[in-house]
A and B are shown apart, each in its own frame.
Chain A
């Protein structure tokens, strides 16, 4: 079965590769990626097509076929996206229909089969509405809810801002599975200052589900950002789940990120913050640097040091990561990546979890090919080596 699937993937990839490629780019596109690996899924073919049929009308589809089922899945192929999008010439009315990810302001994104409408009204007002049924992998029966309906009303603020409120309701066999109210705002105060905020409130079990705040300031080669996150995991579950009655014990995270272009080709990023879950507290620290070896960044080196988790819970770990990508002649490139993770408490699962990758890639005239060897040790495996191969082809037509 596996061999037959792999043959099918290979045959499809070869057949697709034989299609002549038009010289002019856009607006119709087709991309095929075939991935083979010694890790599951062993073979995968992803087809991605899209384009504008005429001005204001576009379509997109992404489908995949695996040579075997991935762990926990009951299907070896599915549709990720298949959607048609239309818009009037003025852009005042826009519609989407098909399978897509619905994101209404501050409310959680949902993958649905359905439709969405957007209206641009006078006085900078925007109205969005969406309705659909949830997407489930294959023929799964574990559907958490039957349908969803929601809407968002927003007001544009100048050229660089918007604020809105959104409401969504999900029902499962007529029972309320989720009811949320969201508020969002994004604003470019000046050319250097900007703010973003979103908050979701659970109306079924009253309480804040998620809040995210970010404010940044940019000056010359530096950017500073302050952020804060609040999430109550119990509110992320369907209201019909027994675990949603355990009350609010939110997790919180706050910190600052400094991004500095130290030299035209050298970026440095420092992220210092803290997290709190109930009474436990932890430090979050990440230091990253990236050096581009040429003006276009085709070759680059990067390094990262990270400290994360909550020591009291045994989730704290420290890690280091280094990467290199070197562009070679004849459209070739080699890439290497090494990560070392040391958990504070190994619990008999290893004191150091190394992970490494060595890859060679080639890209020319719509073709893309890569081969990689990945080696690692983890709590699950004392050692493991996987080999990956990828072949991609892209066509476009005017």
Chain B
């Protein structure tokens, strides 16, 4: 009895020790995760060396006028009109705590870079706008008083006066070169997600909007019949760019083509496969290294018929044009191959027209 109690006590103690050990390990793991997160915070962008945006609101509340810091707005020029350290220390921050430039710490480099990008790509003249706004900067920069993070006016603010540019989608009124600028639309057409798959459905109803940024060659790079190589081949040094033919596509293209019938022919002509395979000596044809069809392809199990129904474009890639006569050898009216049409088949083509007349000589509709 005592032995059993002792054993139970020992087991209980072992269990408690095990739980304590578990809790301790969990604590260590949590600490390690926190340490890792802290170490990676800079890489992940969670920790910043400088505030993202300058505290404009505090200056406005203190009664500092915009032009007190942003001098030179009344003179045309390509400058960013950012205050230098002397402007900040002149009369206000007379005892700077550091010898480094104020903007190096009190606003992030990314914000300044975004400002420079905007200046380089937008047609904008502060002088003309200041006159129209009668010197009231907040006529356009209305986020200042609210303490908004982003002070560059959104396009909606521009459209309050330039509504005709919005209606006519004449983006060039303000944007010098949208393609070069690389700015993604702020509207519903943001190019996130799987844009390669999604763009067809989006562009169908918004083609004119696409043209605002993309030139003809952008579409023709994939959908053009005379493209020498797809665009990704010219961007080897940027592996993060999306492309339907990225990386080892040449190795897996047969699998992708068979798993998605018709996908290739949405961009390529059906005879593209045959011409490339023939040139490389791969697949069917004279001098080819192998027949792409497995044994028993044309036989009692009708495998070729099933495969042809699923992906007729694949058959047409090799057997199109004059090669179609191969089918008619068996699938003519009265031939051993029988009718290739499924039940309920209908067509608006007259029997005397192509391709009906290949199997239905003289319009025989049997």
Contact (A295, B109) CB under 8 Å given A198-B201, A259-B192, A263-B44: yes
A30 touches B (CB below 8 Å) = no
Say yes or no for A17: interface residue by CB 8 A criterion: no
- Residue interface bits A193-233, CB-to-B below 8 A is 1, else 0: 01011100001111000001110101000010101010111
Determine the residue in chain A with the shortest Cβ distance to B249: A355
**Interface presence of A163 (CB below 8 A):** yes
Q: Are the CB atoms of A105 and B205 closer together than 8 Å?
A: yes
Q: How far is the CB of A155 from chain B (nearest CB, A)?
A: 10
Distance A357 CA – B232 CA, assembled complex (angstroms): 13
Q: Which residue of B170, B248, B262, B355 is within 8 Å of A244 (Cβ)?
A: B355
Closest to A62 in B: B217
Asked if A212 meets B45 with Cβ closer than 8 Å, knowing A44-B229, A244-B312, A321-B247, the reply is: no
Stretch in contact with the other chain, from B87-95, B128-136, B316-324: B316-324
A6 at the interface (CB under 8 A from B): no
For A254-282 the 0/1 string (1 means CB < 8 A from B) is 00010100111110010100010110001
Assess the B220–A80 pair: CB atoms within 8 A: yes
Our pick among A103, A245, A278 for the contact of B310 (Cβ within 8 Å) is A278
Kindly identify which residue among B110, B172, B190 contacts A55, using a CB–CB cutoff of 8 Å: B172
Q: Is B299 at the interface (CB under 8 A from chain A)?
A: no
- Report Cα–Cα, A257/B197, bound state, in Å: 11
Could you tell me the distance between the alpha carbons of A197 and B203 in the complex, rounded to whole angstroms? 10
CA distance A46 to B223 in the complex (A): 17
Contact residue among A242, A316, A355, A390 (Cβ-Cβ distance under 8 Å from B248): A355
Report which of A231, A245, A341, A360 forms a contact with B251, defined as CB distance below 8 A. A341
Alpha-carbon distance between A169 and B144 when the two chains are bound, in angstroms: 56
Contact with B along A88-109 (1 / 0, CB 8 A): 0011100000001101011011
Select from chain B the residue with minimum beta-carbon distance to A98: B216
Annotate B173-198 by CB proximity to A: 1 below 8 A, 0 otherwise: 00011001000000110101110011
CB of A137 within 8 Å of the partner chain? yes
Task: Name the distance in Å between B221's Cβ and chain A's nearest Cβ.
Answer: 8
Contact between B312 and A246 (Cβ–Cβ < 8 Å)? yes
B276 touches A72 (CB 8 A): yes
Decide: A78 near B266, CB < 8 A? Known: A188-B188, A242-B355: no
A residues less than 8 Å from B262 (CB atoms): 231-233, 236, 251
Q: Does any Cβ of A come within 8 Å of B260's Cβ?
A: yes
* Bound complex: CA A357 to CA B248 (Å): 10
Closest A residue to B186 by beta carbon equals A191
> Which chain B residue has the least Cβ–Cβ distance from A377?
B251
- In the complex the two chains form, what is the Cα distance from A308 to B259 in whole Å? 8
Of A66, A118, A239, A263, which is within 8 A of B208 by CB? A118
Closest residue of chain B to A333 (Cβ to Cβ) is B237
**Interface size of A in residues (CB-CB distance below 8 Å):** 156
Q: Judging by beta carbons under 8 Å apart, are A101 and B216 in contact?
A: yes
Asked if A245 contacts B44 (CB within 8 A), the reply is no
Q: How far is B177's CA from A135's CA once the two chains are assembled, in angstroms?
A: 28
Does B219 touch A at the CB level, under 8 Å? Answer: yes
Given the known interface contacts A186-B204, A214-B201, A240-B355, the answer about A245 and B345 at a Cβ–Cβ threshold of 8 Å is yes
Q: Which residues from chain B contact A194 at a C-beta distance below 8 Å?
A: 188
- B-side interface mostly: helix
Give bound CA distance, A353 to B252, whole Å.
Answer: 8
Smallest Cβ-Cβ distance to A251: which chain B residue: B261
> B236 contacts which of A239, A317, A359 (Cβ < 8 Å)?
A359
Residue of B nearest to A126 (CB): B208
Residues of B contacting A337 in the complex (Cβ-Cβ under 8 angstroms) = 239, 247
- Which residues in B have their C-beta under 8 angstroms from that of A246? 308-309, 312, 340-342
What residue of chain A has the Cβ atom nearest to residue B323's Cβ? Answer: A242
Known: A233-B262, A239-B349. A101 touches B282 (CB 8 A): no
Q: Are A164 and B310 in contact (CB under 8 A)?
A: no
Q: A180 near B: Cβ within 8 Å?
A: no
Min distance, Cβ A223 to any Cβ of chain B, angstroms: 6
CA of A81 to CA of B263 in the docked complex: distance in angstroms?
A: 23
Give the shortest distance, in Å, between A253 (CB) and chain B (any CB). 8
- Residue contact A26 to B236, C-beta cutoff 8 Å: no
Within 8 A of B (CB), among A125-141: 126, 134-137
Q: Nearest Cβ in chain A — how far from B322, in angstroms?
A: 10
Q: Which of A159, A196, A231, A233 gathers most chain B CB within 10 Å?
A: A233
Determine the chain B residues whose CB is within 8 A of the CB of A233 once the complex forms: 261-262, 265, 310-314
* A251 contacts B260, C-beta separation under 8 Å: yes
Contact of A198 among B204, B315, B321, B340 (CB under 8 A): B204
In the complex the two chains form, is B220's CB within 8 Å of A100's CB?
A: yes
Residues of A within 8 A of B309 (CB): 234, 246-247, 249, 278
Least Cβ distance of B330 to chain A in Å? 12
Stretch at the interface among B1-9, B26-34, B161-169: B161-169
Q: Which residues of A contact B270 (CB under 8 A)?
A: 144, 237, 241
A296 on the interface (CB 8 Å rule)?
Answer: yes
Q: How far is the CB of B230 from chain A (nearest CB, A)?
A: 11
Q: How far is the CA of A354 from the CA of B28 in the complex (A)?
A: 39
Nearest CB in chain A to that of B347: its residue: A205
Is A291 interfacial (CB-CB < 8 Å)? Answer: yes
B366 at the interface (CB under 8 A from A): no
Given contacts A44-B228, A225-B193, A370-B237, contact A162 B313 (CB under 8 A): no
CB-CB under 8 A from A44, the residues of chain B are: 228-229
Interface residues of A in 307-354 (CB under 8 A from B): 308-310, 313, 315-317, 319, 321, 323-325, 333, 335-337, 339, 341, 343, 353-354
State whether A80 touches B224 (Cβ < 8 A): yes
Contact of B355 with A241 in the complex, beta carbons under 8 Å? yes
Distance (Å) between the CB of A188 and the closest chain B CB?
Answer: 4
Smallest CB separation, B351 vs chain A (Å)? 12
Q: Which one, B197, B266, B313, contacts A108 given CB within 8 A?
A: B266
The CA of A377 and the CA of B353, in the complex, are separated in Å by 47
Instruction: Report the separation of the CA atoms of residues A293 and B43 in the bound assembly, to the nearest whole angstrom.
Output: 6
**B348 pairs with A204, CB closer than 8 A:** yes
B40: nearest residue on chain A (CB-CB)?
A263
Residues on B with C-beta less than 8 A from A197 are 201, 204
Give the distance to chain B from A102, nearest Cβ to Cβ, in Å. 9
Question: B170: which A residues are within 8 A, CB to CB?
Answer: 87, 91
Separation of A71 and B219 alpha carbons in the complex (Å): 23
A41 an interface residue at 8 Å Cβ cutoff?
A: yes
A-B contact pairs, 13 of them (CB 8 A): A25-B176, A26-B176, A46-B234, A71-B276, A90-B164, A134-B225, A243-B316, A247-B342, A257-B194, A265-B43, A309-B255, A336-B239, A360-B237
